[in-house]
Structure formats: C-alpha cells, structure tokens
Structure 1
Amino acid sequence: MAATRQGRGPVWAQIADELRARITDGTLAPDSQLPTEAELTARHGVARATVRQALTALVNEGLIVPRAPRGYFVRHRQPLFYRPQQEFRPQPETPEMDRFMMEHSAEGREPRQDIEVSIVDPPADVKKRLKLGDGELAAVRRRVRYLDGEPFNTNDSYFPLSMVQNTEIMRPADIARGANEVLAEAGYPQVRLLDEIYVRMPSPDEIQRLKLAPGTPVSCHICTGVCPDGTPVRVVVNILPGDRHVIVYERNGMNAADR
C-alpha cells in the first residue's frame, strides 16, 4: 500500500482512522493487542515513524495504552458514574469507607483514597466563593480517589478556617458521617448548593495528580454550600477526567404547569 493516498489526508491519520474504527466496532476488543509496529509498517508500506504517529494519536485520545515491551493494547474503559445530586444522601455505616468507597467496592472494583489536610491562602476563585476577606485562611481537604490502582478523580474541599479549625475536618482521615454533618454539628448546616460544571483542559497539577495522558480534557465540578443566613461554608472542587467518567443527573418529570 502506498505511503500517500490522494484526497484522504495524512497517511498516519488514515492508519489511526482504520484502527479507531476497529476499536469502535468491537473488532479490537478491550484489552486486546494491536498489530505490532512492524506489522503495521509492512501492511501500510510506510516508515515506522508514520505508524508511531498514528499510535501516539490513539494514545492521546485514550483509546489505547502502551505496555512495554509487549506493544499497544485497547484500553479497557470502565467509567465511573458520577452523581452530583446524591451529595446529601446518608453516609455508609462502615467507618473506614466513604460513599465513594462503599459504592465501588460493591461493584467489585478496588477503591482507595489519599487524603491531605492543610491550611492555605486559597485560590482567588475559591476565596471569592467563600467570601473570605484579606488575610483570612481556609482549611482544605485534598483527596485523590483511585479505582483498581488508577487515579479516577480529585476532590478538594475548602472551608473557612475559623469555622472548622477545632473539628474532625482538620484530620487527614475519612470522616465516617461526612464533612457536611460535621459542619451542621458546628452550627453551619447547608440548606442550598450551587453547582457549576466547566469542561476544559487540565492544569499541570491536575495532570500530575491524575496521571493524565496528553490531550485528555476534564470536567471541573465546583459545589458551593450555603447556610440558612446565606453564608458560604464550603467549596468543593472535583476534577473528573473525561475518559473516566459519565456525569449522571436524575430529575423529576415536569408537571403540566411547568411546560
């Protein structure tokens, strides 16, 4: 097969298109091995560099993964169903497992999380949402959540330090009953939530924490919790890699009067 094919775009893109189609239609199943670089080079009559360009494009799309020295394999996608609307459902009773860990242990997947707690001068957008003044600090609980050893998302929760400095929120461990309940016990119940969802490319810090492949977009879900008097008491920043999540909302059907 010739190295150039008139009217069909670059040869590396054509090779990528062919492999992508075979992955999409199931001919190449999850975890199956792609033809080797040598096999693709011979099949298409091109230089190995051209084949590598095609394979790199598919890696960047999250369709395949390299497993040295064996070659390239179709990525086994098992997305996490992320449900923002279930934020305030009851916590699991098992102390060592939060909602995330309980759900996905039940699915037969192995969950874990890393938790760090620190006192910070928060980013400007978080400070604005929390309505903190100059010099006011925040406590942040930074979490990376894993499934089957792969980092799936980050969950960074910011609180005005003056509200939480003598609570469990300052301890780098899971809170069995949940940080929302701790806030309520401290006199700051949340009665209203503002959800914002942005889709963008990740920051360098997000790439490092989540081990993202080049070209992977993320959804950024920011949730601000507000007390009855309108005081914001919590800002949570969730970073969800686009190749690992499905965002699911459940809503009631409209009444005739709402149509």
Structure 2
Amino acid sequence: MYQQIADTLRDQITDGTLAPDAKLPTEAELKEKYAVSRETVRKALAMLVNEGLVISARPQGHFVRRRQPMVFRPQAEFRKRPYSPEMDAFMTEFSAEGREPRQVIEVSIVEPPADVAKRLHLGPGDLVAVRKRVRYLDGEPFNINDSYYPLSIVRDSEIMRPEDIGRGANEVLAELGYRQVRALDELYVRMPTPDEARRLDLGPGTPVAQHITSGHTAEGKPVRVAITVLPGDRHVISYERQREVPEEEA
C-alpha cells in the first residue's frame, strides 16, 4: 500500500499538481485518506525522499523539492571564455545565471590512488598534488571535483594554493610548459562511496555519475587527472558532437 501512495504522490509531482515547494498532505491526512497506519505513510514518504522528489523539513512537514539541475558540459573545458580575473569558470558561469556558487578547496600532497597513478604514468614513490573541491549552488553541495597533478611539475605554482584560479589550472599548466591538447573522458554510473555521500550530503539510494578526465600534452604526456562526482538528482550531462564533413562534401 505504501508503494501505491508513493505512486500517487509521484504522479502529482510529475504532472505539476503538486508544484515545486508545495507542502504535501500531513502524515495524519494521508493516514486518514488511505485508511492505513502511520508507518505505511512514513514508508511512502521515505521512498519519495530517497528518490530526491521530496524533502523532509520537520516539524513543518514534507515539501516538493525544487529542481534546478546543473548542466555539466565536459566538452566546454578547453573553450576560451571571458572568465573573471577574480573567479574561476565555475564561479563566473553560475554567478552570471543568478545563482549563488561557492566552493571549498583543499590542497594536499599525497601518494596517488592506483588508478590515478596509472593514468598519470607514475612510478612507485611518485607523489601528486591534489586539489579537492566541493562545489555548492544556492547552499547545496552539487558536485565533487578532485584534480591530481604530478608534484614534480606543479610544485611552487598557483595550483598548490587552496583558492580560485581565475584563468584556470589548465592555463597555469600551459604556462609551466604543459599545455593540454587532448583529453580522454570516461563516464561511470554507480552508487557513491561513504566519503562521497558525506561530502555531498546524499540521501540513501542516490546514484552518482563519475567523470574522469585525463589531460595530455602534444607529446602525449599525461599531466592531469580530474575526477568529478555528479549526483544523479542534481545534474544533466550534456555532450555536443559535430560530424566532420569530408572535403569532397564541403
């Protein structure tokens, strides 16, 4: 029965009968309407909370979650844009949209995870600098972006500072002599690790997409591995593709 109640409320949210920020009927009202126990009602509401459709704001009640997903465009990374000299691409783009972006940045020197070491062609004992970021929009943690660099090439550079880099870390690498001209993108869809769930404040049952980018120079040297974790209830991943037209068809 709790599934039937959840289905009915879900349909009302989907078709707009229950609009964003609308308050759902109280547990007592649902209990009386469907002639079920309070525990059954709570199971139905918990399903919708786990699906990211509803938020619980006790003691006020349950409300339809306002969804304003972030559009994540991996192909836009190397495009030139008039970014602010004070703020990096993420901060500039979403400030322009009228949203409130914020990010918490931590920088440390670590032994790389095995998969990162493999992508960066590092040997035993080689260290990396990692910039760990949690990005927020309108006060909500939206995604994680952890970027790894061989310590030997970024030591003493701006990449080692836990602050926004207005022109971007990619441009800093280029100034150091390691301009990236090719990137390999990998996408995985999975459940979050406990650490990711903690950093992103994820509810039970929320899947994530993991986007791994490996950046290479013209000589084929890998100089950066960026791992972005995108909660499935907060993102749209948008890829743009363009067919190359043969000269004889042009």
TM range (shorter): over 0.9
Give the secondary-structure state (helix, strand or coil) at the position aligned to 2:167: coil
Q: Match for residue 165 of structure 1?
A: 155
Q: Is the 8 A contact 1:91 1:178 kept in 2?
A: no
Alignment of 1:63-78 (within 5 A): 63-78=53-68
Cα distance in 2, alignment partners of residues 72 and 60 from structure 1: 13
Residue 180 of structure 2 aligns to a residue whose secondary structure is coil
Please report how far the alpha carbon of residue 255 of structure 1 lies from its aligned counterpart in structure 2 after TM superposition.
3.6
Written as runs of structure 1 = structure 2, the 5 A alignment for 1:28-67 is 28-67=18-57
Give the drift of 1:92.
Answer: 4.0
**Structure 1 residues 15-34: aligned runs within 5 Å:** 15-34=5-24
CA contact (8 A) 2:213 2:227 kept: yes
Counterpart of 1:187 (choices 154, 174, 177) is 177
Pairing 1:229–2:219 present: yes
Amino acid at match of 2:40: T
> Residue 227 of structure 1: CA displacement?
1.2
Amino acid at match of 2:54: I
- Is the CA contact (8 Å cut-off) linking 1:15 and 1:51 kept in structure 2? yes
- Partner secondary structure for residue 25 of structure 2: coil
Q: 1:251 aligns with which of 235, 241, 245?
A: 241
3-state SS in 2 of match to 1:135? coil
Corresponding residue SS for 2:48? helix
Other structure's SS at 2:185 match = strand
Q: Which residue does the alignment assign to 2:195? A: 205
Q: Is the 8 A contact 1:155 1:237 kept in 2?
A: yes
Cα separation, partners in 2 of 1:113 and 1:91, compared to 1, 3 Å: farther
2-structure distance, mates of 1:251, 1:153: 24
CA contact (8 A) 1:101 1:111 kept: yes
- Where structure 1 has 5 or more consecutive residues not aligned to the other structure, the ranges are 1-10
Which residue of structure 2 lines up, in the alignment, with residue 6 of structure 1?
A: none
Partner of 1:239: 229
**Residues 254 and 187 of structure 1, relative CA distance in 2, 3 Å threshold:** closer
Contact 1:15 1:54 (C-alpha < 8 Å) held by counterparts: yes
Residue 4 of structure 1 is matched in structure 2 by none
SS at 1:191 equivalent: strand
Q: For residues 165 and 99 of structure 1, what CA distance do their matches in structure 2 show?
A: 23
Aligned mates of 1:78, 1:22 — CA distance in 2: 19
Give the TM-score taking structure 2 as reference length. Answer: 0.96
Cα distance, 1:254 vs structure 2: 5.5
TM-score, with length taken from structure 1: 0.93
Distance 1:93 1:25, change over 3 A: closer
Cα distance in 2 for partners of 1:23, 1:125 equals: 41
Alignment of 1:45-194 (within 5 A): 45-194=35-184
> Is the Cα–Cα contact under 8 Å of residues 143 and 154 in structure 1 kept in the other structure?
yes
The CA deviation string for residues 235-256 of structure 1, in whole angstroms up to 9 with x for no partner, is 0000011000001111224647
- Change in CA separation of 1:248 and 1:133 when aligned onto 2, cut-off 3 Å: same
Q: Distance in 1 between matches of 2:118 and 2:46?
A: 41
Q: How far 1:40 moved relative to its partner?
A: 0.3
In the TM superposition, what is the alpha-carbon distance from 1:95 to its structure 2 partner? 2.7
Distance 2:118 2:164 in 1: 27
Q: Deviations over 1:67-100 (max 9, x none)?
A: 1111000000000011100101225442331111
Equivalents in 2 of 1:245, 1:211: separation in Å? 15
